Amino acid sequence: MTRGRLWGFGVLAVCAVAVCVRLGVWQLARLDWRRGQNALVAGRGAAPPLPLDSLRRADTAVTHWRRVLVAGVVDHAAELVLASRSQAGMPGVQLLTPVRPLGDGWGDTAVLVLRGFVGAADGRTIDFVRAREGDTLRLAALVTTFPPPRPGGVRLPSAPRAVRQLHRDSLEALLGRPLVPAVLLALGDTAVRDVTRPARVPPPAPGDGPHLSYALQWFSFALVFLLGFAGVAWRARGGATRPPQAPAP
């Protein structure tokens, strides 16, 4: 290998090493952020429950992952399901229940309670009557936010009470009433004991995610590029310094 080609290969190797190291450091930074979020969620979950009325005044960024005490009247006729869910290896739906909180000042505003998972073979239709828990709902719930909207429609044409995603504006239009800007995840027994009755949906499990393994992969790639260039440079240097051999007689 000529000196010019070796220098060119060296520049490429250094650039590749720098990129891999930068990506590895970025993954470590993501890991630190993830661990900070886990600590924040754990701290908020361990805090005393908030009164439901606080959701009308507090910023959702502050109340996210806090527990609240729900007490309100269920609007059974307006219940919907989030289609194509699964729990414990079983197909089904997640039951969305609008609740009008007890007390003054709420008007037509409702809170949307994700009441639990209900088994459904087709992933979209259930017996809403059998899934009821009474006309008045009293339970502890976890405050979550509406996820960002995804492409595609919200409603399922083949199931008028089923939706594909939790899109606040679309749900308000379907329900005909304003919603508090939060989805309340009902807490309780998550075991599926009766497929017709709602089993609570477990909160997202905290974890470090794949960031550490990704960081190690990027650092490994950097080491491969570095060792590869060192091997090529060593062979090129050995070939340049090896004395020419006399032709055989």
Q: Quick: pLDDT tens for 182-215.
A: 999 999 999 988 888 999 999 888 888 899 999 9
Q: Could you state, in order of their start, the residue ranges of all structural domains in the chain?
A: 3-40+211-240, 49-186
Most confident of 41-55, 135-149, 228-242: 135-149
User: How high is the pLDDT of residue 95?
Assistant: 97
Read off the pTM: 0.77
Please give the Cα distance from 201 to 190 (Å, whole number).
6
Q: pLDDT digits over 77-126, tens only?
A: 999 999 999 999 999 999 999 999 988 888 889 999 999 999 999 999 99
User: How high is the pLDDT of residue 217?
Assistant: 95
pLDDT of 140 > 70? The answer is: yes
